[in-house]
A and B are shown apart, each in its own frame.
Chain A
Amino acid sequence: MRRVRAFGAFLYDFVVGDDWRVAAGVAVALAVTAVVAGAGLAAWWIMPVATVGLLAASLWRAAG
């Protein structure tokens, strides 16, 4: 059980890294893109805008 937990912690650190909000934000942005694209509207701009916003917010949090 301890090994499974350690592997889970390793995977989390490996994929998500230092700022879980970035990973959560990417998931939300992809979902919004899917909904907007599904409604037949232009959705290509959502991911670039979300990426810049998420990176900037994460950097400013890290900078304190």
Chain B
Amino acid sequence: MSGAEVGLALSVFIACAVEAVEALTIVLAVGVTRSWRSALTGAGVALAVLAVLTAVLGPAITALPLGVLRVVVGGLLLIFGLQWLRKAILRATGLKALHDEAAAYEEEQAAARDAGAVGEGLDPYTFTVAFKGVLLEGLEVVFIVLTFGANQHNVGLAAAAAGVAVIGVVLAGVAAHRPLSQVPENTLKFVVGVMLTSFGIFWGAEGAGAHWPGGDAALLVIVPATLGCALAMVAALRRSGHEAARA
């Protein structure tokens, strides 16, 4: 496995694990409060939709010429990665609230209790909430799987990494019987943001016609440099926050 493929698998695995933790919280909350059958059916149908999307869009995207693919997909990956990194930096500096799985679980349970009586057979409320939760969290993963996988011409590896992450999170959730609030979500999102941004810079520039000194080895500089810049921005924002508080 090449360095870029390791980066691809690792980034998709972490991104998928984080999104799966958030989806698990929603499915657990409505499953425990209302109906396990409806929650699991909703989650299963959403996973099937995501799998079909990946299977249909994957070959279509990889059929594009490499130059077009890299500039378009690299650009999208960079925009997407900067969104993740921006939010993670704002959370790390306290400018945005951290995602709290325990609080999200309680909120979801309260809403499920207020939603009226549980329907006969398939409960529409539970099915819809579980379906929507898994689909929306999963769409980000599909986007990452397709963009990363297509650029490396290895959508299969990206999909496999995502699948392993989902299975791991589900097993952990079954073992814990509660939301996985101990998972350091913001740290993981920070790492994913750094990886998406780095690969987006690399592929975007290459697709636009630039040649990286050292070829693929440039990624060994781009990834740590992106991480260093992001950490420096966290430090600078914290410092300016402290100075503002003192003033």
Contact = CB atoms under 8 A, between A and B. Distances in A.
Interface of A: 14-19, 22-23, 26-27, 30-31, 33-34, 36-38, 42-44, 46-48, 51-52, 54-56, 58-59, 62-63
Contacts of B6: none
Nearest to B143: A14
Contacts of A51: 78, 82, 197, 201, 226
Centre residue among B71, B82, B207 by max chain A CB count within 10 A: B82
B153 interface: no
A54 B82 contact: yes
Main secondary structure of the interface of B (DSSP, over half): helix
A52 to B, nearest CB: 5
Contacts, number: 102
A56 B230 CA distance: 9
B86 interface: yes
Interface of B: 71, 74-76, 78-80, 82-83, 85-87, 89-90, 93, 95, 139-140, 143, 197, 201, 204-205, 207-213, 218, 222, 225-226, 229-230, 233, 237, 240-241
Contact of A59 (B89, B139, B140, B204): B89
Nearest to B211: A44
Contact of B83 (A18, A42, A63): A18
B233 A56 contact: yes
A62 B218 CA distance: 31
